[in-house]
Structure 1
Amino acid sequence: MFAYIANTPAVTDVVVSGGDSFFLSPEQLKKIGEELLAIENIRRIRFASKGLSVCPSRFLDSQDEWSKTLIELSNRGRALGKSIALHTHFNHPNEISWVTRRAAQILFENAVTVRNQTVLLNGVNNDVVTMKSLIRTLADINIQPGDMVQGVEDLRTPLREILQLEAHIRGTIAGFVTPSFVVDLPGGGGKRLASTFESYDETTGVSKFVAPGVKGNTVHEYYDPVWSLPQASGYAP
């Protein structure tokens, strides 16, 4: 894998997840991080993990080797002019406790970049009050915004609600802490800003997107969840 990346100059960003990088041993984390930092064309490395949201106490433990390794890799990357970031997932302000705040502060004091990716969940966080609270709370503990994407079928939010949510939030919170509202297109279309659709039929729930810079003129369709369609009034998610 490392040889392939080194021989493919077009690869400049790498995401390390495997489900959750928190499951890597400190030795594995160090090995992967050092190997990637040694590759000239790699400029940015992201370690994806829910660890900060589900087990923030580990970051408070000065003897925790995983946390120490992440900080060491971040410092080494900075010395090389490369970026290492922890990408985490908070979906509701109630997930953020005093332990989370302290853990985030420790990472901030050690100059570790932390970004959050929120999944929009119908009935959980797809309202303006909850989302504003989450965004502001994350900003207060120096966690940067990432993409905001839709969730699994029964919890997914229709495109029209995403657009309404963004319209009510954007401009009320500083732009640099406001997340991007995106949809993850099926069929390899990738993530696209929700507002960049080519067409959107709210009756059928079908929206169409293109990514000319990546996929040429290929049209990717995105579908609102079944429960949100006008003709599905009897459907219970």
Structure 2
Amino acid sequence: MTSSHTMMTSIDDALETFEPSGWTPLAKAIQDATKDLSAFHGESNTNILFIVSDGKGMCGGNPVKAAKEIRDSNIQPIVNVIGFDVDKEGEAQLNEIAKAANGTFALVQHEEALEEQFEKAREIAEKWAGWKSESIQYIRDAKSKATVLLRAYGSETVDKNRRFRSNVKFALSYLSEKNDMDFGLSADLSGMRRDWSSRAGDIEDNVTSSFYDQRDRIFDQMREKIESKAEQNE
């Protein structure tokens, strides 16, 4: 699991201790990485794996197979294979590993170039982290605006229902006072008014609730897409 901060710390620490050892157990190294990262599922974590090697003497095992296995695991890592001062044979071997892992491959000839590769990865991670933060804030603002509109709609609907009840009640009272309506009809109309008002209130509640559910669903879907996109590119 790698954030911009942890990536920066890890890279700096790695550079301080970087020393070619002259032998490269790549298959075991990839298998160990798979084991170490297995607790960090790719759907909720951004796993970034750097493989730095001279590409010579694979020291047993099958690194291409190991690369395919980590690619197909739930880790879903972003794999960066870096050939450090490699010959043609080593370049071909490391390139094959990168392809097997659906990763990237880069050649460097000295430590400064290696630092540049790490720096590029760090910059990309920071840019995607910034994009993710801005995008989530944007949809939060949109959700807040939608909430304001929904509240305004609810208030307006309640007010219309209240005015309707008041107007009908006034009309019935007026007609009753003028003796233009018998008691039975007035009672029936009053009951109809109450029933209509109750149904209108229920419809208003259902519609408003549906709008709020739809707002939350759209917000959650957009957030998931943003987080998924960021995790794929960090």
Instruction: Give me the TM-score of the superposition, normalised by structure 1.
Output: 0.33
- Which one has a larger percent helix, Structure 1 or Structure 2? 2
Q: Which structure is richer in relative contact order (CA contacts within 8 A, separation 6 or more)? A: 2
**Structure having the higher Rg:** 2
- Which one has a larger percent strand, Structure 1 or Structure 2? 1
Instruction: Give me the TM-score of the superposition, normalised by structure 2.
Output: 0.33
